[in-house]
Copies of this chain bind each other. A is one copy, B any other.
Amino acid sequence: MSLSQVAKAAGVSKMTASRVLRGEGGYSEKTRDLVMEKVDLLGYLPNRLATVFAGDQISTFVGVSIPDLGNEVFSQVLEGIDRKLGAFGHQTVLGLTQHTPEEEANWIRTVLSWQPAGLILTGRFHAPRATDMLRNAGIPIIEIWDLNSSPLDMSVGINHFDAGFDMGRYLVGLGYRNIAYVGTSHDTANAATTRLAGFTKAVEGGSGQVTKQLCLHDTAAYYPGYYGTEQLLASSPYIECIFYQNDAMAFGGLQYCKANGMDVPVDIGIAGWGDLPVAAVLPQRLTSMHVPHLKLGQAAAEMMIARLSGEPVTDVRDIGFKLIPGSTVRNLAGLA
């Protein structure tokens, strides 16, 4: 079902039909009614491939790469992006890149070949060949999540080093000295790595130490937090406080501690990261750090849309975070 067929049915040229369909004027009422009647009758749907292909027109695709959706945080970011993008007539082409630059690079190559209007990528670490392709693409690129102060093009997110640092300073400030970290391991550096670096710096600068770093070969989810804590405490029973890669792991750890008769925060301190929605209904507030995930996604989509519309855009936007003191850690001052 093509435009020519509609045009033929209506007894006009395809140019006239094209003009009617785009509503750009230059035809009579009568002609329009005639054409639209045939469009409805034949159930004609324009072929956007041809449209983009023909004109200088830009496609309405935006490629969005996300590490994984098992992590609620990224689901929220994606939700923010797609809702906002959709509201402006754009479509998300999704890529779940598993935190690996290799997968990301492959996905970038494929998506670029579809002539997207722009790309939104999670993280700031890309394979060299990906970087080359991105530079040559000549389309807006936004790096989200891990704020990149000298981005390929644009960036929205937070400074994970600072976020880790603030949490470290907070815990040391409460009097914790012998602190552990539980997270997952990745082949490549990512935001969690950066957070840990900031965290370690603050702890060591405050005369504490990150005694043990346990990096599991698993997903950063509830159950790994549970058994990771078990592993950690089996080998290092004198830990005073544990900082987790995210809230899901921290919650798993919290449950492990409770299940094994520990009193949190009296026997051990627990701190997470990300502030999951489930926190709203829990009796004990998890010490964590709030990041406006949905807003982050929306901000990225807005930046993309602004850039595509030729509006002036600030290239780097820090979306901010907020420490949540919670009640899973306590002030040790005067107790030593």
Interface residues of A (CB under 8 A from B): 1, 43, 45-50, 52-53, 59-61, 64, 68-70, 72, 75-76, 78-79, 82-83, 86, 89, 91-96, 107, 109-115, 132-133, 136, 221-223, 225-226, 248, 251-252, 255-256, 258-259, 277-278, 280-283
What residue of chain B has the Cβ atom nearest to residue A107's Cβ?
A: B86
- Kindly state the separation between the CA atoms of A170 and B225 in the bound complex, as whole angstroms: 33
In contact, B53 and A49 (Cβ under 8 angstroms): yes
A79 & B96 in contact (Cβ 8 Å cutoff)? yes
- Report if A277-B83 is in contact (Cβ < 8 Å); known contacts: A43-B132, A45-B109, A114-B49: no
Residues of B within 8 A of A258 (CB): 283
3 nearest CB pairs, A to B: A255-B281, A48-B113, A69-B79
- Interface-centre pick from A46, A47, A75 (highest chain B CB count, 10 A): A75
How many angstroms between the C-alpha atoms of A269 and B114 in the bound complex? 53
Residue of B whose beta carbon sits closest to that of A77: B69
Tell me the minimal C-beta distance from A256 to chain B in angstroms. Answer: 7
- Contacting pair A92 B93 (CB below 8 A): yes
CB distance from A105 to the nearest CB of B (A): 13
List B contacts of A45 (CB < 8 A).
109, 112-113, 133, 136
**Does more than half of chain A's interface fall in helix, strand or loop, or is it mixed?**
helix
Q: Check A86 against B93 for contact (C-beta < 8 Å).
A: no
Task: Choose among B68, B114, B282 the residue that contacts A91 (Cβ–Cβ < 8 A).
Answer: B114
The smallest C-beta distance from A18 to any residue of chain B, in angstroms, reads 14
CB distance from A58 to the nearest CB of B (A): 12
Q: What CA separation (Å) do A68 and B89 show in the bound complex?
A: 18
Asked if B278 and A113 make an inter-chain contact with CB atoms under 8 angstroms apart, the answer reads no
Given A69-B76, A113-B45, decide whether A221 and B96 contact each other with a Cβ distance below 8 A: no
Taking a contact as CB atoms under 8 Å apart, the answer to whether B94 and A92 are in contact is yes
Bound Cα distance A271, B8 (Å): 61
Q: Could you tell me if B95 and A86 are in contact, using CB atoms closer than 8 angstroms?
A: yes
**CA A68 – CA B225 in complex, angstroms?**
26
B281 & A251 in contact (Cβ 8 Å cutoff): yes
Bound Cα distance from A133 to B25, whole angstroms: 27
- What are the residues of chain B within 8 A of A251 when measuring CB–CB? 278, 281
Measured CB to CB, the nearest residue on chain B to A91 is B93
- Residue of A52, A115, A280 with highest tally of chain B CB at under 10 A: A280
Give Cα distance in the complex from A258 to B61, angstroms. 47
Interchain CA distance A262-B92 in the complex, whole Å: 46
Q: Is the beta-carbon distance between A278 and B92 smaller than 8 angstroms?
A: no
Q: Which residues of B contact A60 (CB under 8 A)?
A: 110
Docked pose: A114 CA to B47 CA in angstroms = 6
A60: nearest residue on chain B (CB-CB)?
B110
